[in-house]
Amino acid sequence: MAVAYILLVLFLAVFVAGFILLVLGAINFDLSNSDIPSGVDRPVKLRIIHVFIICTAVVGKILEKIGICSQFSFIRYIQDRMPVGVDPKLLIKNLRFDTVPIRIYQPKVPSASQRRGVMFFHGGGWVLGSLEVYENICRFIARESESVVVSVGYRLAPEHKYPAAYEDCLNATIHFMKNSEHYGVDPANVVVCGDSAGGNLAAAVCQTLAGRSDLPKLRAQILIYPGLQALDFNLPSYQQNRGVPLLYREHAVFYVLQYLNGNLLHMQEVLDGSHIPIDIKLKYRKWVSPDNIPEKFKIRGYKPHVLLDCTPEVFEKVKRFCEPTLCPLLAEDAAIRQLPESFILTCEYDVLRDDGLLYKKRLEDNGVPVTWCHLEDGFHGIICLLDKYVLSFPAAKRGAYNIVSFLKSL
């Protein structure tokens, strides 16, 4: 019995030691491939957050390998554990708009007139993120702008592939617009808002609803470092910020492929730009091109990328990248011209920076008023860290107050 006990202890000790070595090895590998520029807001704090994220991902992968749970399930579980206190200024309810779970934030202070409504679509690469993760930013917007905020818990990939997330956000928005007065909201003053993948969804929903004559027009769209195209991952910002947390260039491709179809077989072709035929690239080059990026954003190192063709087999797997409901930057001018007043937030140290810059130009070229906020020291995902205690960043607060100012101006 004693021998068996000693062997069990030894086995557990070896297992724990091996587990720790695996985690440390993975962390060391990932950190050696990361780049946190000195100009970023609170670089040491960003490094600490990055290490925690890596640890979570590595442990999740180990648990997946031994059959306990999927990596995504583990990461989602950990993300949802962040503590959030009570907000005495807001009435918060969990509801469903048809089959879509939502969380609604309503200011308790009385209002003499109908309020503004904000549909919020969270980020997370269509794979991660939740109502819980985005609790703080939704509370902040509702409280500071005195708006009714509806956060949408859309279905996530890879369990639910494109267009599931888009359809959930669209259906939730339509439901709210048809029933907005029930929540004390002016139906002519509804705004769509989202960050990262949520910004993609907000842009797609806004384009779809702009052509609807049976609903009130959306008042505005707020796009926070949105991902808006999947044709060119070699634009200046993708090259300059390829290893900057919280979103690597490779991760941007990984997430959009998970959303598209969950097939990562041609990930390298997408990174190289050999996933779209040249004739289609040339068709969209007037909208997706480094030539449309102001020169000051190319100073930190940029090399023009050679146009590469692709095989029919590869394009067949990713051809839906050309659909505006997946890549809103590719919408025709006729659709862009119908869009409402817009707010776009970009971050200097973000691979998605140029997606926002390109869309800003498209909107302005088509006569759509744009308010632009650029965080010179910002990085991807910074707004999500708003009011996260010691994990907060001053730049996040600046960006959030710019969003609130825009809402109050409507």
Measure the CA–CA gap between 271 and 140, rounded to whole angstroms: 36
Measure the CA–CA gap between 305 and 290, rounded to whole angstroms: 9
- Catalytic option among 41, 195, 350, 377: 350
Annotated active-site residue 196? The verdict is yes
Measure the CA–CA gap between 19 and 26, rounded to whole angstroms: 11
Annotated active-site residue 350? The verdict is yes
Question: How many other C-beta atoms are found inside a 10 Å radius of the C-beta of residue 240?
Answer: 24
- Catalytic option among 196, 237, 274, 342: 196
Annotated active-site residue 272? The verdict is no
Measure the CA–CA gap between 52 and 88, rounded to whole angstroms: 31
β-strand pairing of 370-379 with 100-107: unpaired
Structure tokens at 236: 């200046």
Angle between helices 71-79 and 43-65 (to 10 degrees): 140
Please answer whether residues 201 and 166 qualify as being in contact, where contact means their C-beta atoms are separated by less than 8 angstroms: yes
In which residue are the tokens 């796009």 written? Answer: 223
Q: Is 210 left (phi over 0), alpha (psi -120 to 50) or beta?
A: alpha
Residues with catalytic roles: 196, 350, 380
